[in-house]
């Protein structure tokens, strides 16, 4: 237990040293978000968290002035190095999109119609807001035995002229370059949207990347056709038996 505590303190100190301005306020904000962010619905509520030892105005100050000079790639590298296993194992990544509804923010730029689950009968599953692409990594080593948590590595807003699935694959390609994983096996998983032709074309740019995606329930699979040595009249088969 003491060793785990020391490792956590060392990791927090290394991340703390990467914040040039407002490091204490930023760390208070990170602690509040990780502990209570799931139950607070506003910034004002978050400022009342026991983990945030400052006033409400410090949140705006930390974000505006504290994060402007931060090298997030270094933070990404620190998180990755502390979570990777010592043995040579494939790196398993997950990509997915989530939405941030902003129906009343009329002056917010680049709002668009995004997918949003709506259980009300007769209503379309859409809302007005922004879409974000999340790239996370599965824990390795002893940490992988508890499969209930992920390690977020990148969150990027999807632009008006972009598609969320293609943005996610591009995040994986950039992450491989930034972390120097060109010589290590990487596996990226996603839902059926990540199996589009555009996503597959992007994924083949990295020879060490395996793109796995869930097949749509409308997709039909066929075995490779078996050709006879003596071919009779007619066109040769393009597909074999249905799987």
Position 188 pLDDT exceeds 80: yes
What band does 222 get if pLDDT is binned at 50, 70 and 90?
confident
pLDDT at 226: 80
Position 191 pLDDT exceeds 70: yes
Collect all residues with Cβ–Cβ distance below 8 Å to 234 and sequence separation of at least 6: none
pTM of the complete model: 0.80
pLDDT at 36: 86
Position 38 pLDDT exceeds 70: yes
At 94-148, the pLDDT tens digits run 999 999 999 998 899 889 999 888 888 888 899 999 999 999 998 876 655 666 7
Greatest mean pLDDT among 76-85, 127-136, 227-236 = 127-136
pLDDT at 142: 63
What whole-number distance in Å separates Cα of residue 53 and Cα of residue 201? Answer: 49
- Backbone phi, then psi, for 202, in 5-degree steps? -70, -40
pLDDT at 3: 79
What whole-number distance in Å separates Cα of residue 224 and Cα of residue 238? Answer: 8
Which residue shows structure tokens 């409308």? Answer: 218
pLDDT at 237: 78
What's the rounded mean pLDDT across residues 1-6? Answer: 78
Which CATH number among 1.10.10, 3.30.420, 3.30.60, 3.30.110 corresponds to the domain 84-243?
3.30.420
At 200-213, the pLDDT tens digits run 999 999 999 999 99
Position 170 pLDDT exceeds 70: yes
What whole-number distance in Å separates Cα of residue 185 and Cα of residue 196? Answer: 22
What's the rounded mean pLDDT across residues 153-181? Answer: 93
pLDDT at 165: 94
Position 65 pLDDT exceeds 80: yes
Task: Please report the DSSP string for 85-96 in residue order.
Answer: -SS--PEEEEEE
What's the rounded mean pLDDT across residues 18-39? Answer: 90
């Amino acid at each position: 237990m003491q060793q785990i505590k020391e490792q956590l303190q060392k990791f927090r100190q290394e991340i703390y040293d990467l914040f040039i301005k407002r490091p204490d306020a930023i760390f208070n904000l990170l602690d509040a978000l990780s502990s209570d962010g799931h139950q607070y619905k506003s910034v004002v509520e978050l400022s009342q968290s026991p983990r945030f030892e400052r006033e409400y105005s410090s949140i705006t100050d930390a974000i505006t002035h504290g994060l402007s000079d931060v090298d997030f790639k270094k933070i990404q590298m620190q998180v990755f190095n502390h979570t990777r296993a010592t043995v040579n194992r494939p790196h398993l990544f997950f990509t997915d999109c989530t939405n941030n509804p902003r129906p009343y923010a009329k002056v917010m730029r680049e709002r668009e119609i995004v997918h949003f689950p709506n259980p009300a009968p007769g209503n379309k599953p859409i809302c007005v807001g922004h879409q974000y692409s999340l790239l996370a990594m599965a824990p390795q080593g002893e940490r992988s035995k508890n499969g209930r948590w992920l390690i977020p590595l990148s969150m990027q807003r999807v632009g008006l002229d972009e598609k969320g699935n293609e943005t996610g694959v591009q995040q994986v390609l950039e992450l491989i370059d930034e972390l120097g994983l060109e010589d290590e096996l990487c596996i990226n998983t996603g839902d059926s949207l990540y199996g589009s032709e555009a996503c597959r074309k992007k994924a083949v740019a990295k020879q060490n990347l395996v793109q796995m995606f869930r097949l749509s329930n409308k997709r039909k699979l066929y075995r490779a056709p078996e050709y006879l040595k003596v071919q009779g009249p007619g066109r040769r088969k393009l597909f074999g038996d249905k799987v």
